[in-house]
Amino acid sequence: MFTPKIPPPDTAPTPGTSLVPPLTGLVHPPACTCHHTPTAPMAPVPAAAPARPAVRFTPGSLLVAAAGGTAVVLVVGTVLVSMLLATAITAASVAVCAVVLRSLLNRPNNR
């Protein structure tokens, strides 16, 4: 049952052959099919003018951006503090429950 099953010599592949037939007759298309002729090298492109900043801030827009940033910080801070407070309250209530259960289980006759 655990001995290897060796195929008979007439079906075993020889070391020089492969079980996968070779791919023959494959012709890859050329990378470029536009059939153009090479031309003279292109002239160098002049350097571009220095770019202007994409966004210009006016005093009003700076005030709006500062107010928006402050609002985001306050909202995120409020959410994080409320989550921390909820965790602290849950931990305190679990601790109180543990102390009560411990006292009930350790002294059942002293009630």
Q: Model confidence over 31-55: pLDDT tens digits?
A: 777 766 656 666 666 666 666 667 7
- Predicted confidence at residue 48, as pLDDT, reads 67
Alpha helices in the chain (DSSP H): 59-106
Phi, psi of 63 (to 5 degrees): -65, -40
pTM of this structure: 0.42
Polymer length in residues for the chain: 111
CA–CA gap between residue 71 and residue 86 (Å, rounded)? 22
The pLDDT of 6-21, averaged and rounded, is 67
Residue (of 82, 100, 102, 101) closest to 90 by Cα position: 82
